[in-house]
Amino acid sequence: MLKLYDNPFSPFARKVRLVLAYKGLPFERIDALALDRHDDLVRANPRAEVPALDDDGFIVVNSSHIVAYLEDRTPSPPVLPGDPKQRAAARSWERMADSLLDAVIHDISIWGWPTHHREDRPPEGLYEAGRSDLLGFMGTMESALGGEGFFCGELSVADFAIFPHVTALKPLGILFDAAAHPKLAAWFRRMRSLEVVQDDLEYVKAMALEKFGSAAMPYESEKIVWRGDRIEWLFARGFHAWWMVELEAGRAIVPSWL
């Protein structure tokens, strides 16, 4: 059976879980961000990032690479369109979700994480910068969507990549404006109607109660892993001085293959 080094709340792991479920592939879950599974995760992925997929000893890391591997391994039902242009578009949307959406949402949501109870406040202007960029991207998504379908016509990795990030917008106080984003709001309802999405949403809710409902925190509660896209957005928006303080204080970790 496939083994997924997972985390219930990682948008990248959620993307892979949605693809696995859509393809009907059974898999074993390992909450690899739990502190007591850290060594297992490092053996699978030296960068200590989820997800990582173990297919009978063959390890694939990076969510987009895992999805591509699963598409090659089990082509039906497909998550990449058959048309070359639509296929390229699906990969482009996946990349934008994995980089831009993840970076902004990650960087402005730190102070609301149930794992990290910070006593400081976000640097001035951080939330406003993130909100501005996210609203701009929502406008881009609105313009790209068709009236009845998905981002690339048929359901694809584009939708599975974007959806987990979009579910994080409401807790940040960023809501779909039905007047400004009617197609995006309809797409969100369409995604939530899918059985694989409903199952994953229920799983995330159940895990939130299980993981955060007791005093024993299973996850790291002080240090934060900062990969390139998250740092890039922060620096591009002028918050490099704040991040350097985090690094010097030992609260920021930059992953490495070494």
* CATH number of the domain to which 160 belongs: 1.20.1050.10
Which tokens go with 98?
Answer: 């994995």
Domain total of the chain? 2
**27-31, strands of its sheet edge to edge:** 27-31, 2-6, 52-55, 58-61
Q: pTM score, two decimals?
A: 0.97
Q: Are residues 176 and 92 in the same domain?
A: yes
**Residue 206 sits in the same domain as residue 97:** yes
The pLDDT-based confidence of 215 (bands split at 50, 70, 90) is: confident
**What confidence score (pLDDT) does residue 178 get?**
83
Residue after which a domain boundary falls, among 15, 41, 73: 73
Q: Where are the beta strands (DSSP E) in the chain?
A: 2-6, 27-31, 52-55, 58-61, 224-225, 252-253
For residue 143, what pLDDT band results from cuts at 50, 70 and 90? very high
One domain, residues 105 and 127: yes
Looking at residue 177, what is its pLDDT? 81
Confidence (pLDDT) at 150 = 96
**Domain assignment present for 237:** no
Query: Omega into 51 within 30° of 0, i.e. cis?
Result: yes
Query: For residue 175, is pLDDT > 90?
Result: no
Q: Compute the average pLDDT of residues 11-23.
A: 98
Q: 137 and 63 share a domain?
A: no
Domain boundary among 22, 52, 73: 73
What whole-number distance in Å separates Cα of residue 144 and Cα of residue 141? 5
Mean pLDDT (whole number) for 191-208: 98
Looking at the structure, tell me whether residues 90 and 206 fall in a common domain: yes
For the chain, what is the mean pLDDT?
Answer: 96
Q: Which pLDDT score is estimated for 89?
A: 97
In a domain, 217, yes or no: no
Do residues 42 and 93 both lie within one domain?
no
* pLDDT value, residue 147: 72
Is 201 found in the same domain as 98?
yes
Could you tell me if residue 179 is inside a domain? yes
Q: Which domain holds residue 59?
A: 2-73
The tens digit of pLDDT for each residue in 54-74 reads: 999 999 999 999 999 999 999
pLDDT tens column, 89-119: 999 999 999 999 999 999 999 999 999 999 9
